């Protein structure tokens, strides 16, 4: 729930100033909320960011990625916010080249993605590679007939299966946290030490901004006081359970009732006992009666003397 500012290393390019701002639906760790927080942050504290066409107040929080880019890097991401005012302590100096983004949108060279839910990622991290490989090879002929195919993204260091990130490019949750901290919020850390912005006028910190603390931070947990932010992020994702859907309506009310005994069916040749007679008598009285037809009242006969 922490909101980072410029003294914490926010920017110069970022998508939002907090992790829970984008991952908050239906709870902290989820996906984009109903109201897009990027709209209010675009002009917060005197900023002069121009909203792209794909960022709306009622739409999801989105990230823009270029399919074809001059850097020749697959999935190059463009942040949607930029710090633009050096006088304001909330913002630093940088230039948002929105005209480049508008040109890419017009050329259909931009694709979008929304924040991914983080529930149950600890279970995903503990799935062995052999289980993933056996699932991929199962029902191969049926998958081939339906046009279903694919391959794993392997880690180039140890050739194990990577499974986190937009293209499953990250091996572990710790690496996933470090990349998101730098790409989404512009905060350098122990794993990603350099800023993504290449403008020399935007380089204000020569060292990583979020590192392992050498002195105990004032946190509720003594162990967490000596952990970096990305380690705390990965622990949060690792220990978060998967989302459970609750049933609503009559099924929820039926749980509060006591369990009824199972009714045994009566044998067709066996005569009903006293309880059976009472049950049949009650059912007979509950049957709807035929409606009587209304008739005009008969005239009374007068007796003559």
Residue 264 domain flag: no
CA distance 197 to 202: 7
Reported as a single tens digit per residue, the pLDDT across 140-172 is 999 999 999 999 999 999 999 999 998 899 999
Asked if residue 276 belongs to a domain, the reply is: no
Lowest mean pLDDT among 122-136, 201-215, 270-284: 270-284
* pLDDT higher than 80, residue 245: no
Q: Please state the rounded mean pLDDT for residues 188-215.
A: 85
Q: Is 132 helix (H, G, I), strand (E, B) or coil?
A: helix
* Mean pLDDT (the chain, rounded): 79
Residue 154 lies in a domain: yes
Query: Would you say residue 305 lies in a domain?
Result: no
Would 38 be classed as within a structural domain? yes
Beta carbons of 4 and 185 less than 8 angstroms apart? yes
38, 61 Cβ separation under 8 angstroms = yes
247 vs 152, residue with greater confidence: 152
Q: What is the DSSP letter of 54?
A: T
In sequence order, the β-bridge partners of residue 112 are 64
Most confident of 39-48, 63-72, 131-140, 215-224: 131-140
Confidence of residue 207 (pLDDT cuts 50, 70, 90): confident
pLDDT digits (tens, 9 = 90+) for 92-111: 333 345 677 788 888 888 88
Q: Does residue 261 or residue 34 have the better pLDDT?
A: 34
Per the CB < 8 A criterion, the answer to whether 115 and 222 are in contact is: no
Residue at 245 is within a domain: no
pLDDT digits (tens, 9 = 90+) for 42-97: 888 777 777 888 889 999 998 888 887 665 444 455 565 555 443 343 343 333 45
CA atoms within 13 A on the CB side of 179: 14
- CA 285 to centroid of chain Cα atoms: 56
Does 261 score more than 70 pLDDT? no
Two tokens, residue 88: 């304001």
**Segments forming the whole domain that contains residue 150:** 6-136+144-239
79: which 2 tokens?
A: 């942040």
Residue 304 falls within a domain, yes or no? no
Q: What number of CA atoms fall less than 13 Å from residue 154's CA on the CB side?
A: 8
End-to-end CA, the chain: 104
Higher pLDDT, 201 or 273: 201
Burial class (CB in 10 A: 0-12, 13-18, 19+), 18: middle
pLDDT digits (tens, 9 = 90+) for 189-200: 999 998 887 777
Highest-pLDDT range among 201-210, 276-285, 291-300: 201-210
Tokens of 14: 């970022």
Q: Please give the residue that has the higher pLDDT: either 124 or 241.
A: 124
The pLDDT of 4-8, averaged and rounded, is 82
SS3 assignment for 265-290:
CCCCCCCCCHHHHHHHHHHHHHCCCC
pLDDT attached to residue 111: 87
Domain-located, residue 283: no
pLDDT value of position 289: 57
Domain count, the chain: 1
pLDDT at 16 over 80: yes
202 in Cβ contact with 221 (< 8 Å): no
| Low-confidence winner among 6-20, 202-216, 238-252 (lowest mean pLDDT) | 238-252
Query: In angstroms, rounded to a whole number, what is the distance separating the alpha carbons of residues 60 and 88?
Result: 28
CB distance 51 to 40 below 8 Å: no
**Contact yes or no for 135/127 (Cβ under 8 A):** no
């Amino acid at each position: 729930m922490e909101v980072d500012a410029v003294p914490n290393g926010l920017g110069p390019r970022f998508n939002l100033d907090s992790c829970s701002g984008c991952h908050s639906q239906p709870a902290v760790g989820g996906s984009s909320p109903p109201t897009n927080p990027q709209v209010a942050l675009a002009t917060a504290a005197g900023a002069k960011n121009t909203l792209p066409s794909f960022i709306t107040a009622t739409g999801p929080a989105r990230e823009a990625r270029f399919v074809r880019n001059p850097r020749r890097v697959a999935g190059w991401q463009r942040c949607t916010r930029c710090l633009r005012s050096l006088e304001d302590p909330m913002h630093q100096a940088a230039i948002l080249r929105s005209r480049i983004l508008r040109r890419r949108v017009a050329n259909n060279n931009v694709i979008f993605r929304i924040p991914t839910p983080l529930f149950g990622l600890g279970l995903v991290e503990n799935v062995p590679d052999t289980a993933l490989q056996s699932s991929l090879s199962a029902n191969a002929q049926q998958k081939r007939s339906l046009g279903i195919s694919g391959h794993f993204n392997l880690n180039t260091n140890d050739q194990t299966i990577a499974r986190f990130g937009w293209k499953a490019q990250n091996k572990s949750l710790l690496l996933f946290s470090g990349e998101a901290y730098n790409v989404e919020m512009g905060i350098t850390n122990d794993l990603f030490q350099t800023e993504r912005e290449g403008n020399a006028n935007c380089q204000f910190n020569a060292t990583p901004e979020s590192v392992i603390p050498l002195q105990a931070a004032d946190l509720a947990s003594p162990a967490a006081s000596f952990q970096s932010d990305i380690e705390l992020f990965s622990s949060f994702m690792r220990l978060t359970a998967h989302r459970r859907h609750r049933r609503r309506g009559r099924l929820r009310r039926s749980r509060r009732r006591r369990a009824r005994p199972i009714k045994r069916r009566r044998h067709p040749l066996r005569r009903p006992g006293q309880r059976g007679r009472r049950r049949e008598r009650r059912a007979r009285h509950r049957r709807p009666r035929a409606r009587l037809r209304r008739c005009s009242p008969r005239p009374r006969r007068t007796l003559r003397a």
